[in-house]
């Protein structure tokens, strides 16, 4: 039985619109969490918890919308791969929001124990966040406008992010034990570095899946 295309394009456009808004929510919370890290501001954590709770509901709603498309339209081939990628995207955005919440929680601990953050720590974290933000912007355009993945751009951003992570870890390893309020605070900074790294990795993998959805071929981006 051939796939039923009646209403499929409209349903996909609706999902694209909601997914774009979901990404924007994640980007906003991430920016707030990173700015709180720089400013030693612990106030963002309560907002992050609320956004995280809301993200679960959005995740369920979008997932159900996509499952409804599968049930009603029975998509095949490229359409099916695209729907599968949107399901992964919904999960990826929810995970990124969870990472932002974790960063905000670390912000609170750092704020309680540290008077300032060394520039050699702040700078690479900001670089990592910048590359993550670029990757999210690329991903939103690809998934919501049906664009091809700019593979070389994604690879370059991911490599640059990993290089910045290495600089952050190297800087942390050379700090005196009592810098930034001691080892407990330094561990919280490592947690932030790792969360940004995992967020970027998840976005890169999502781009690989989108390339496969459009072209039915695998591509190595990481």
DSSP 86-138: HHHHHHHHHHHHHHHHHHHHHHHHHHHH-S---HHHHHHHHHHHHHHHHHHHH
63-108: per-residue pLDDT in tens? 888 888 878 777 778 888 999 999 999 999 999 999 999 998 888 8
CATH T-level fold of 8-215: Methane Monooxygenase Hydroxylase; Chain G, domain 1 (1.20.58)
Report how far residue 201's alpha carbon sits from residue 162's, in angstroms, rounded to the nearest whole number. Answer: 9
- Indicate the DSSP class of residue 41: -
What are the extents of the domains in the chain? 8-215
Place of tokens 């919904």: 90
**Cα–Cα distance list, 3 to 51, 71, 92, 179 (Å):** 37, 11, 27, 62
Structure tokens at 16: 């694209």
Report how far residue 85's alpha carbon sits from residue 12's, in angstroms, rounded to the nearest whole number. Answer: 12
Mean pLDDT of the chain: 87
Report how far residue 154's alpha carbon sits from residue 208's, in angstroms, rounded to the nearest whole number. Answer: 10
What percent of the chain shows pLDDT beyond 70? 93
Report how far residue 64's alpha carbon sits from residue 25's, in angstroms, rounded to the nearest whole number. Answer: 19
| pTM (predicted TM-score) | 0.90
């Amino acid at each position: 039985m051939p796939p039923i295309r009646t209403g499929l394009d409209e349903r996909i456009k609706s999902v694209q619109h909601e997914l774009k808004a979901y990404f924007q929510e994640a980007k906003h919370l991430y920016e707030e969490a990173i700015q709180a890290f720089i400013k030693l501001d612990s106030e963002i954590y309560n907002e992050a918890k609320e956004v995280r709770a809301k993200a679960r509901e959005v995740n369920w709603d979008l997932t159900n919308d996509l499952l409804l498309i599968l049930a009603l339209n029975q998509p095949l081939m490229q359409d099916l791969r695209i729907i599968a990628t949107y399901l992964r995207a919904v999960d990826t955005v929810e995970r990124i929001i969870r990472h932002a919440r974790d960063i905000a929680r670390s912000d609170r601990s750092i704020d309680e124990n540290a008077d300032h953050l060394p520039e050699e720590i702040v700078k690479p974290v900001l670089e990592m966040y910048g590359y993550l933000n670029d990757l999210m912007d690329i991903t939103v355009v690809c998934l919501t406008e049906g664009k091809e993945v700019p593979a070389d751009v994604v690879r370059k951003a991911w490599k640059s992010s990993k290089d910045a992570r290495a600089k952050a870890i190297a800087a942390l390893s050379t700090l005196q034990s009592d810098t930034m309020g001691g080892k407990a605070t330094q561990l919280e900074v490592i947690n932030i570095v790792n969360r940004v790294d995992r967020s970027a990795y998840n976005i890169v993998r999502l781009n690989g899946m989108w390339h496969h959805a459009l072209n039915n071929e695998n591509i190595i981006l990481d």
